[in-house]
Structure 1
């Protein structure tokens, strides 16, 4: 072995790496991204959960109780409701994570030591459910509590005066929360990579110039290239749904049609993103590298692995750009809470806007590169 020849190869690889901006960005960007995300954005100590308050008593004591609950930092009131039914509707639509019900006879219940307040929790997220239990420890007043009265089944509360009732996943099974999110994770990973690599592969093999020479318009060419992957995405969705139902008994409380409509929105969003990446990448390896820049923030910031409510506000704004964030709200709302897709219209509009922007940018860049 010649050390001189070996050194020449090492220098050649270092120079090639220096010229490859994507690889250089991966070398520096991934460690920095992970450090910042895990150290700054990831927070398991939930605060400021969106909450709805139904204070039917309207007394000084009930208002003081609400202020004490807000002072814990666990909840941040975003909805004033008149009835528990309004809170339940807001929970189903994902507008709030916690609902506080104070009944009209709050003063009498408090004096008698009976259950006086009910906290309704979206139990589809087990972390939110655990955080909301802290509200049961808020003292009502200095009146002695009667602890000889049993708590209602499924409720948790100090002395029985504040009960926390979890809906949609009272058993706190992790699979119920994870399996719907896995649909989004799998579709994000495969759809973006498949599309980005497929377009670049045509360019590397010299087939792209031949296709452009045909009467096909560039829009027809790009859309036609990715439509088969939409069918693959629907097959993957069906596979996860069937396995989740068979192996983990994950319910589908909403419409199956709505589930597939939500999946199709994410599939289309990821395909358009893959198209945009393909217009920038020079090789299949670069396409996979750029896909990692999308996939890593998606899995960490979307709310799949870590609670969205625990992230700093600036990170939440960044997460709102990611299609997986909106899909998770859609799929969990439909499958676990029984919501209809039209009730979750803000998430639908966000995904449609993402699709329109990505497709427009991809077509514009595609024309610029191949004219």
Structure 2
């Protein structure tokens, strides 16, 4: 082996890498993106959880307690309710994460040392459960030196055993669908270019829209099969309960499948090779899994990261699937996230059709 020849091959490889702008962008972009995400966006200290209080007492002490609760910064008021039943409705819809019930005999309970406050938690997110328990241990009263520690009960709904599998498995459906379908579809058009199959398509009357839809349809079946496999294994191996309807589960999965496929098609119109398509798909996958609320608490992220996450389809699917599977909600009750996925699909498909040109170059 001659050092000069090895050096010549190395220089050639470096020049080839430098000419590939996508590879250079990935080498610099991926570590930069990871640093920004983990440094700024990922925050395990959950704050500003959406909450509501059902004050059945209506006394000065209960009102002072409510002010103390919101002053902690752990929760923020988002709705006014009158009864515990209204709290549970908001929890099922995902509009709040924590519901607080102050009983009508709050003052008597506080004096007697009995349970004087109940914190109802959306247990479909284990990080919220931990935050609620911390809230219950804070020195609260609003009446001077006395404290309510030991008089606050925490009621976790939907996952009282705090099993991580119950929280992870539903969201894992979305992660798998995002990881596979975006990549598969991103490579679809590029594969046609590399294999020269577009020459045949040029001579056909197939329009850009028809070609795109034809590319998407087979992968819908693939996505539904993946959804079924994860559901069956989740129920069989991890005893994950399905509290909602299967129609709701597959409806939410279908929304994400189509959204991911249209995103993959858009990527395929921007990539020149299958390797570039894979690189771009991975670049999109990284923020999706980190910002969607699947791994890290969404409410702990800064508002900029939350704004970016709202654009990602996985964020809305995680809310949908946990709402249907764990909280027993219907898709109609979760309509904001349904509309978000539909809007994302329409925009991505329109952009993909506009960018695609049925030509060899």
CA contact (8 A) 1:272 1:358 kept: yes
Residue 180 of structure 1: aligned partner: 170
Residue 291 of structure 1: aligned partner: 281
Instruction: Count matched residues.
Output: 359
Residue 89 of structure 1: aligned partner: 89
CA contact (8 A) 2:198 2:358 kept: no
* Secondary structure of residue in 1 paired with 2:334: helix
Residue 117 of structure 1: aligned partner: 117
The answer to whether the aligner puts 1:281 opposite 2:271 as a matched pair is: yes
For structure 1, which segment, 87-96 or 66-75, has the greater mean C-alpha deviation from structure 2 after superposition?
66-75
Measured in 1, the distance between the counterparts of 2:261 and 2:286 equals: 17
Residue 171 of structure 1: aligned partner: 161
Structure 1 residue 111, shift from structure 2 partner: 2.1
CA contact (8 A) 1:111 1:143 kept: no
Residue 31 of structure 2: aligned partner: 31
Measured in 2, the distance between the counterparts of 1:209 and 1:117 equals: 71
Measured in 1, the distance between the counterparts of 2:145 and 2:267 equals: 64
Instruction: Compute the RMSD of aligned alpha carbons.
Output: 1.5
Unpaired runs of 5+ residues, structure 2, are none
Q: For 2:203, which of 193, 213, 217 is the aligned residue? A: 213
The answer to whether the aligner puts 1:65 opposite 2:73 as a matched pair is: no
Instruction: Kindly report which structure 2 residues correspond to 1:6-17, keeping only aligned pairs within 5 A, or say none.
Output: 6-17=6-17
Residue 245 of structure 2: aligned partner: 255
Distance verdict in 2 for CA 1:305–1:5, change over 3 Å: same
CA contact (8 A) 1:279 1:369 kept: no
Structure 1 residue 7, shift from structure 2 partner: 2.3
Could you state the TM-score of these two structures normalised by the residue count of structure 2? 0.96
Measured in 2, the distance between the counterparts of 1:176 and 1:134 equals: 22
Structure 1 residue 39, shift from structure 2 partner: 1.2
Residue 149 of structure 1: aligned partner: none
Residue 3 of structure 2: aligned partner: 3
Q: For 1:158, which of 135, 138, 149 is the aligned residue? A: 149
CA contact (8 A) 1:84 1:101 kept: yes
Residue 223 of structure 1: aligned partner: 213
Measured in 2, the distance between the counterparts of 1:119 and 1:20 equals: 56
Residue 306 of structure 2: aligned partner: 316
Measured in 1, the distance between the counterparts of 2:202 and 2:353 equals: 13
Measured in 2, the distance between the counterparts of 1:144 and 1:8 equals: 78
Measured in 2, the distance between the counterparts of 1:143 and 1:116 equals: 17
CA contact (8 A) 1:113 1:144 kept: no
For structure 1, which segment, 105-114 or 227-236, has the greater mean C-alpha deviation from structure 2 after superposition?
105-114
For structure 1, which segment, 164-173 or 103-112, has the greater mean C-alpha deviation from structure 2 after superposition?
103-112
Structure 1 residue 112, shift from structure 2 partner: 2.0
What do residues 158-196 of structure 1 show as CA deviations (whole Å, max 9, x unaligned)?
A: 32x211110000000000000001100000000000001
Could you state the TM-score of these two structures normalised by the residue count of structure 1? 0.94
For structure 1, which segment, 111-120 or 274-283, has the greater mean C-alpha deviation from structure 2 after superposition?
111-120
Distance verdict in 2 for CA 1:143–1:41, change over 3 Å: closer
Residue 294 of structure 2: aligned partner: 304
Measured in 1, the distance between the counterparts of 2:249 and 2:198 equals: 35
CA contact (8 A) 2:208 2:358 kept: no
What do residues 230-280 of structure 1 show as CA deviations (whole Å, max 9, x unaligned)?
A: 100000000000000000000110010010010000000000000000001
Residue 148 of structure 1: aligned partner: none
CA contact (8 A) 2:241 2:326 kept: yes
Residue 150 of structure 1: aligned partner: none
CA contact (8 A) 1:212 1:218 kept: no
Structure 1 residue 209, shift from structure 2 partner: 2.3
CA contact (8 A) 1:303 1:328 kept: yes
Structure 1 residue 66, shift from structure 2 partner: 1.1
* Secondary structure of residue in 2 paired with 1:80: coil
Which 4+ stretches in 1 moved above 6 angstroms?
Answer: none
